[in-house]
Amino acid sequence: MGIQKEFDLMAVSTKGDDTPLILRKNLCVNVVEPNIKNEISSQKLDIILTQFMEILSKRKKYHIGYPINVCYEHHATLAPLLQFHLNNCGDPFTQHPTDFHSKDFEVAVLDWFAQLWEIEKDEYWGYITSGGTEGNLHGLLVGRELLPSGILYASKDSHYSIFKAARMYRMELQTINTLVNGEIDYEDLKSKLLVNKNKPAIININIGTTFKGAIDDLDFVVQTLENCGYSSDRYYIHCDAALSGLILPFIKHAKKITFMKPIGSISVSGHKFLGCPMPCGIQITRKTYVSTLSKIEYIASIDTTISGSRYGLTPIFLWYYLNMKGHAGLQQDSITCIENARYLKDKLVKAGIGAMLNEFSIIVVFERPCDHKFILRWQLCYLSGLAHIVVMPGITREIINSFFNELMQERKRWFQDGKTKPPCLADEFGSQNCMCSHNKMHN
């Protein structure tokens, strides 16, 4: 009991939640004195880890603001693999100098995505990345090598990794305005393409923007390029499909992401909609585009990836999950999440709370709650006057109702004096979605 008492984790309580939050001072690494057995130290470590897992288990039902699928049903089956060091060093399609890798699993996963995105096995190249950011960095690197003098065009609602790539590769950047729903402003894109006709174009297309979940119209962008006089050898299109890349293919009437269209690369996150305990992603490009390859004698491979050494356990998790889910499981998850997102959005609107939901999106954007403690408790992502909830697999209607009921209780407190009014958010997500008193009078 003495050990338990000494190493109880410090707690910071929030309303209705007794979950403790770890303070870093409890996690100092102790140096074991020579000739002293480490049995007590081991017990202390076990206590800390057990309590940490209890924290995570409690917080799962409040994790609604970020696009992570926290439902891992097969961790016990895959856990024994942790006893092996698996390093997928170098190109996935080349031989490996050691036995401790999972490249066969990696290629199997890549083949699955190649089939999903309609490109033949002998026509694509790709690898499993550490996440969507690395996938975007690699996709735009390929575009940079193909069109060295090209200008990168990206909407202001693009993920920060796109702008990071521009800085890292010293690419000339044109930031494009967005429509009120977060979609790229096609007129602004057109005007800037025409001004820079003397230089090739490298275009980032968002298949679901980070905050509003808006999907850029790939077909219209291609048509715009052609109308502006850009031939196919003078533009390169990268598709950032981090979240929606595993939703749209399974929804009827949604436009396809496919290499049958003139795109250069696609990246998607593995830990988001599909779900994986470690951050990861899948990046695929046309094989003919990966031309600048350098032979690395030390690893008997070619240096085509950004990270070099890659976690070999990740491909096995993805391979296992894809096999267990299958197309039918992913389709059901996609439909359920879209329906639940509509359910949440409708509840907010009926309660007089401004909210928006893009077509085929699972991201519900709404008026930012007034209390920062409430935001932290529900782990909400916010931007200016807006917040959003990402209705992932595992976000049930029970969780949605729990959030909604607590939000309504808190709003009574926030607006009880009758003087404080909800802000006007028409400029941020459209007058049709704003529920301020001015818009109510005109609707």
Q: What does the alpha-carbon distance between residue 136 and residue 266 come to, in Å, rounded to a whole number? A: 8
Q: Are the beta carbons of 259 and 118 closer than 8 angstroms?
A: yes
Structure token digits, residue 135: 């996938």
- The span from the first CA to the last CA of the chain, in angstroms, equals 64
- Residue 181 sits at φ, ψ, to 5 deg, of -90, 0
Where helices occur in 272-382 by DSSP H, the ranges are 313-350, 372-377
Q: Are the beta carbons of 114 and 284 closer than 8 angstroms?
A: yes
57 is catalytic: no
* Active-site hit among 307, 361, 384, 437: 361
Q: What does the alpha-carbon distance between residue 366 and residue 387 come to, in Å, rounded to a whole number? A: 6
Cα three-residue angle 123-124-126, rounded to 5 degrees: 165
Cα three-residue angle 309-311-313, rounded to 5 degrees: 150
The gap from C-alpha 274 to its chain's centroid, in whole angstroms, comes to 11
Which residues neighbour 106 within 8 Å (Cβ) at sequence distance 6 or greater?
88, 92, 127, 128, 312, 315
Q: What does the alpha-carbon distance between residue 405 and residue 18 come to, in Å, rounded to a whole number? A: 19
Q: What does the alpha-carbon distance between residue 395 and residue 60 come to, in Å, rounded to a whole number? A: 9
Sheet of 265-269: strand order equals 124-129, 281-286, 265-269, 235-240, 201-206, 151-155, 172-176
Catalytic center residues: 361
